[in-house]
């Protein structure tokens, strides 16, 4: 029986632990502290995932007590990802999967690059991304995702481990595209949440997400991704789910900004980490490196940083010079 550890007692980490256990694996969730481990073990889940109970095959321990494993999933938020990944209790001799969607502040590194910096060989690193709202998956609703790895064998291993009758996993060799699609869509989802909160209508939201996809694709391709990847699950698929679902924290954050909340108040109301808020300034820094324009990300960042109001940001987008679509 294969043994996996999931580093990060987050909503997505707990969800993935449940998926791995469904496939017959022994799974250990690694919490940040002993107190967190005791709480998750006692409750057999998280308050953010009401009605879901971890399978009996899943144990919860503090990360200091990590057991030996055949493979590792790192499911910490992007801006605390390195602190988890660099923990000495995690073996660098086994495959590792990033389940985070973000870009690291300061370094501008994707999570796979952070894993490499923490000691994993490049051919052992994979990433998972797609339209994967945890609340729907633990409720047993069907979903699909994409796992990317530079090595076919690694991708196949994760595909087999994570696929269930309700969670379908596809393989990809485009690690850059899968990761950037998952990270950058969160910024667009904040803008979509603002649009929904302002009642701008379906036409406006469709236009916004389409132009957001164009921004994401430009930057991802400049970083070495295939444009085709951004038309798949980790691109347009994840973008649609995150932009349109009220279960998306990024969407809820945007709605609260539209309602007049400060960014701090909106963050509290979102009920967890809002990856898009952290990713917006990093995405702009990455775009500047390539001389690229990302107007939606620019206005999202302006609102979050207090440089612009929601109304002014909307006006700035609508008053841009006319141009060709392609």
Largest CA distance in the chain: 60
The per-residue pLDDT for range 236-276, each reduced to its tens digit, is 999 999 999 999 999 999 999 999 999 999 999 998 889 99
Burial class (CB in 10 A: 0-12, 13-18, 19+), 1: exposed
pLDDT under 70: residue ranges of the chain: none
**What is the phi/psi pair of residue 112, to 5°?**
-65, -35
Q: CA 147 to CA 127: how far, in whole Å?
A: 6
Domain range summary for the chain, segments of one domain joined by +? 3-173, 176-318
Contact 176, 110 (CB under 8 A): yes
Q: What pLDDT is recorded for position 265?
A: 96
Q: How many CB atoms lie within 10 A of CB 135?
A: 17
pTM for this entry: 0.95
Taking the C-alpha atoms of residue 274 and residue 268, their distance in angstroms, rounded to an integer, is 10
Instruction: Give the right CATH number for 176-318 from 3.20.20.80, 1.10.1040.10, 1.10.1490.10, 1.20.1050.10.
Output: 1.10.1040.10
Q: Which of 82, 185, 251, 252 is catalytic?
A: 185
Q: Are 32 and 7 in contact (CB under 8 A)?
A: no
Judge whether 3-173 and 176-318 match in fold.
no
101 is catalytic: no
Q: What is the architecture, at CATH level 2, of domain 3-173? A: 3-Layer(aba) Sandwich (3.40)
DSSP H helical segments within 150-234, as ranges? 152-162, 175-197, 202-222
Residue with tokens 């008053």: 319
| Structure tokens given for 120 | 């994993």
The confidence score (pLDDT) of residue 272 equals 82
């Amino acid at each position: 029986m294969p043994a996996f550890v999931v580093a990060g007692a987050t909503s997505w980490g707990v969800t993935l632990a449940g998926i791995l256990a469904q496939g017959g694996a022994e799974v250990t969730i690694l919490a940040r502290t002993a107190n967190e481990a005791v709480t998750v073990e006692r409750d057999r889940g998280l308050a953010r995932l009401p009605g879901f109970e971890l399978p009996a095959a899943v144990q919860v321990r503090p990360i200091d007590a990590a057991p030996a494993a055949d493979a590792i999933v790192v499911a910490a938020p992007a801006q605390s990802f390195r602190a988890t990944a660099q923990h000495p209790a995690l073996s660098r001799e086994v495959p590792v999967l990033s389940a985070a969607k973000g870009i690291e502040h300061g370094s501008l590194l994707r999570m796979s690059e952070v894993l490499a910096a923490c000691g994993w060989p490049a051919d052992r690193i994979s990433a998972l991304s797609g339209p994967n709202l945890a609340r729907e998956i633990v409720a047993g609703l069907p979903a699909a995702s994409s796992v990317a790895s530079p090595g076919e064998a690694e991708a196949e291993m994760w595909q087999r481990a994570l696929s269930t009758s309700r969670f379908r996993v596809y393989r990809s060799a485009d690690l850059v595209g899968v990761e950037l699609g998952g990270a950058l869509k969160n910024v667009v989802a904040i803008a979509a949440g603002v649009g929904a909160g302002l009642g701008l209508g379906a036409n406006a939201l469709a236009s916004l997400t389409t132009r957001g996809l164009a921004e994401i694709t430009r930057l991802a391709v400049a970083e070495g991704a295939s444009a085709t990847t951004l038309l798949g699950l980790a691109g347009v698929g994840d973008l649609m789910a995150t932009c349109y679902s009220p279960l998306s924290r990024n969407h809820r954050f945007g709605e609260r900004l539209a309602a007049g909340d400060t960014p701090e108040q909106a963050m509290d109301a979102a009920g967890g980490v809002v990856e898009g808020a952290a990713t917006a300034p990093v995405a702009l820094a990455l775009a500047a490196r390539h001389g690229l324009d990302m107007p939606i990300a620019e206005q999202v960042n302006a609102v979050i940083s207090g440089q612009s109001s929601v109304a002014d940001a909307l006006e700035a987008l609508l008053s841009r010079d006319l141009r060709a679509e392609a």
